[in-house]
Every structure is written in C-alpha cells, then in structure tokens.
Amino acid sequence: MTRTRYFSATVPSAATGTAKAAAHAAVFFHSCDDRIIFHVIGNGFERSADTPPNLHYHGPKPYEELGSWLAAMDVGLCCYNPGPADYCSPLKVFDYMASGLTIVSTPQPQVNEIFGQLNQRDLLVEGNARAMADMLMRLANDRGRLRQQGAAGRKLAVEQYNWRRAAKDTFDAIEQLRRGTEPDARMIQRTIESREVAK
C-alpha cells in the first residue's frame, strides 16, 4: 500500500458506532472506489465472509506503537452515538490531533467546540455511511487540505491540550486563591479538559 495511491482511514474499535459506520462506508467504497481503505485498531472485530476487502482489522496494539500506526493513515474517524457519548471525553480525537491526522467526526459537544477552535466544523458529519463517504471523497481529492488541517490539529493539541499547560493553569488558580482573588473560570475549564484528555 502506498499513500500516493490509497487513502487510509483509521477507526477505533472501542467506538462501536464508528466501527459500524466505517464498515458500511467500506462496503460503499468497495463498490465505487477501492482506493479508500479502512483500518480498525483494537478489540471486538474479526473478518468474516461479508467483510469487504478494503476493511482491515488489526486487533489491539500497544499504546506506544499507536503513533506509528496513525502516521500511516490519512484520516481519523470518530462517530459518537447521541446520549451517553455527549458526556465523554473524546480521547481518540486528541490522539488523532497529536498525530497530525485530519479528523472526520459526528457531532458531540466537546468535539464541536474543538472543531470550532480549528475552524473545521464542516468536518462534522451525520453518522451514516453516505455522509462519511462524501466527506472522505472530498478529502481524498484535496491532499493540501489534509496536511493543513492535520497540522492545525496537532498545533492545538501541543499548545493547549497537554499536562504542562494544565499544571500551569492549576498552579495559577491556586496562587489566585492564595491571594484571595477569584480564579479565572476559563482557566479552570481548560484545566479540567486537559485532565480528562490525559487520563
């Protein structure tokens, strides 16, 4: 597989909605453009007679090897089922951002805010195969945009969503309390977000 010919998307198997949507999208792409390839990393899925040839299951990988796997991909996919997922921390989104991947995701409150910071709200799609397929096709035909948006996501992850910044904000808030002043609410919120990301 070469990146000049194929367009690869990675899928977290823990996100069942993502994996199912990716499977449907893979079937769609196999019928019209087999250059689009999906890779599922994690537990819970195995190949079967119905698995299209452009959908690959790799099983779980050690976290320290994840960066190498993601470096071989073009896009990270995240699909969140409405309801309980609205209150989770989107850890895979931050993994993808730190790896420099452009991300296609379904709407989720925290993801919506992050994509707003990146001016990438158009990459929020409905959780169905057709919407996902349409977006992936547009990205596959615009490598410049892939590089630009992936770099912007990595920059945000490095500068904001990290333990160093969270520690600084925490100590700044403690110092403000020690001086008898009210800590900045936005600083506290950023610290909470970073703590969730680093769990």
- Evaluate whether 75 touches 102 at the Cβ level (below 8 Å): yes
Q: Which of the four pLDDT bands, split at 50, 70 and 90, describes residue 2? A: very low
Residue 16 has pLDDT above 60, yes or no: no
Highest mean pLDDT among 22-26, 121-125, 168-172, 194-198: 121-125
Looking at per-residue pLDDT, the higher value among 36 and 97 belongs to 97
Neighbouring CB atoms inside 10 A of 125's CB total: 20
Neighbouring CB atoms inside 10 A of 177's CB total: 11
Give the contacts of 81 (CB within 8 A, at least 6 positions apart).
16, 17, 127
pLDDT, average across residues 70-98: 84
Residue 124 has pLDDT above 80, yes or no: yes
- For the chain, what are the domain ranges? 7-157, 163-198
Q: Which of the four pLDDT bands, split at 50, 70 and 90, describes residue 23? A: low
The whole-number pLDDT of residue 199 equals 47
Cα–Cα distances in angstroms (integers) from residue 6 to residues 24, 36, 48, 152, in the given order: 19, 6, 23, 23
Residue 36, helix vs strand vs coil: strand
Q: What is the bridge-based pairing of β-strands 7-12 and 75-78? A: parallel
Superfamily in which the 7-157 domain is placed by CATH? Glycogen Phosphorylase B; (3.40.50.2000)
Mean pLDDT of the chain: 78
